[in-house]
Structure 1
């Protein structure tokens, strides 16, 4: 069988899977959509979209408007070697989806100690619809390990020029180098602990996104970031919001050098988002983007009431 034929089959399977997700979302009433939660800051600044190779002392940073996100790697001692290891910072689709699911479970259970209710990572991912097996399990394991060995710092510049900043480990409580299973990084634990600082921020400023929409977009991390931004901003707009292409690139294209390349990728991401979130009202031209008040992906009556 030719390589082109193999690629066509893979594309066909991917297209079929995407179509099923679109139809499932279309057939799910708005008030029955399954929701995830993100802290408000992560609707303005985002994790890396791809794996970034950093020196141990270096942090990853994304700034947009008044928000700034810095992710610092924390060294983890490997008990088998006695050496300090840096696992890298969380990135890509899996990190965003996993964090959204973990946030939801914490808010539902009203505690920073989360009962996962699954005996293995595989069962957990199947339960939350984030895997069909194979390499996705390995990727998820890697992203949870990175979430567990990173500290995020979110700062916000206030109107008086001062800055609010919080340094927050995210996930705690994992044995990243289990001696009982030395071939398997990250021992699964039925309980995940969110750090108290992160838990406090999440309780104060959560906002919902629809899992059905996120699954449609999971093949394009820029589309997920754009969707997250729209989910938070559109419903609160009192009048149209205009952002020029330079500002849009600052928010969604910090990983792309050339503006013409960014414009192409951003237009493609917007097409996907419109499929997942057809109620979102936005348009663009050569000058920039215009956003208008739109219904939220999750109706307000479906939003979780915190204990």
Structure 2
């Protein structure tokens, strides 16, 4: 006689178990177990379908945040998920938007540090010097993270780029496309800008009595591959390798700030959100008590071209909310006076256990 609940068992593997148990002792109990298993699977499938439907109607960036948050919540971070950026760049940043062509220098002050970036030149076909723009935007930041990470991973100041940059671009969620408006062109422009630029950092003591300026040129050499059919008017060269300046490389080895590849990928299209994540990682990495940051200081750090404080505060609150969608355990909150941060372990930033993180 067919058990009345057998028709509820539909999955092929469960039907096989049903037939195997048929006619044996405690058959009815086995049917009950299989029915329960089928119902649990059905519930899980319905939940997955509902989740997929909810994701499908989300705007693209919100969908990306939701997907990465689930990845972070359901997997333990490993060293393979780590990327690195120099702490100084994490704190001081670069221009958010493309500066006008005539603007050849960028200055930024944060606390007792000041960063000066000056646009440079690269030599190309026929030994002609070609001006490069100031590095700016999210792609310049992504490339610095890529180069710093590769230098740390390979334990070598010379990074081969030609065969690996495309993979990095894909890893960050961008299609690899050619042409004048393709992603390769945009990334190459920022790579060239970084390779050619000159950086200086000023550091003041707390009393304002002494100052020290250190010249930092990130790269000592750039090997540029020039194909035979290159257009003489084309200003986009393709570095094959870049070599970090020895002082910069040693400084990077001491002050490499760990960041999560998942989070970087989530905000790969926003320079301001990348800065917020790396800056917050630096701050949380170096505090052992409550830190309060005023709106004035936040505007100096992230304000960019905002003319009205109210507009900046609204944008900052939204950017922080997006970051907390991905990393809900970050102990930070916006107040009337600015931002309040509490000490936290690396796991709130989707980083591996403390022993794997570097102290800046």
TM-score normalised by L of structure 2: 0.73
Instruction: Compute the displacement of 1:270 (Å).
Output: 0.4
Change (3 A) 1:99 1:26: same
Q: Distance in 2 between matches of 1:278 and 1:288?
A: 19
* Equivalent position of 1:275 in the other structure: 325
Q: Secondary structure at the match of 2:238?
A: coil
* Equivalent position of 2:94 in the other structure: 47
Q: Does 1:256 align with 2:306?
A: yes
Instruction: Compute the displacement of 1:163 (Å).
Output: 2.3
Instruction: Compute the displacement of 1:15 (Å).
Output: 4.6
Q: Does 1:178 align with 2:229?
A: no
Give CA deviations for 1:218-247 in whole Å, capped at 9, x if unaligned: 232212111111111114322211122111
Q: Distance in 1 between matches of 2:192 and 2:173?
A: 17
Change (3 A) 1:182 1:55: same
Q: Which structure's relative contact order is higher, taking Cα pairs within 8 Å and 6+ residues apart?
A: 1
* Equivalent position of 1:99 in the other structure: 144
Change (3 A) 1:107 1:20: same
**RMSD after superposition:** 2.7
Q: Does 1:303 align with 2:346?
A: no
Change (3 A) 1:304 1:113: farther
* Equivalent position of 2:210 in the other structure: 162
TM-score normalised by L of structure 1: 0.84
Q: Does 1:125 align with 2:173?
A: no
Native 8 Å contact 1:95 1:143 kept in 2: yes
* Equivalent position of 2:75 in the other structure: 28
**Structure 1 residue ranges without an equivalent (≥5):** 1-8
Instruction: Compute the displacement of 1:71 (Å).
Output: 0.5
Q: Secondary structure at the match of 1:294?
A: coil
Q: Distance in 1 between matches of 2:272 and 2:309?
A: 15
Q: Secondary structure at the match of 1:275?
A: helix
Q: Distance in 1 between matches of 2:212 and 2:173?
A: 34
Q: Secondary structure at the match of 2:146?
A: helix
* Equivalent position of 1:88 in the other structure: 133
Give the length in aligned residue pairs: 292
Change (3 A) 1:226 1:192: same
Change (3 A) 1:288 1:96: same
**Structure 2 residue ranges without an equivalent (≥5):** 1-55
* Equivalent position of 2:195 in the other structure: 148
Q: Which has the larger radius of gyration?
A: 2
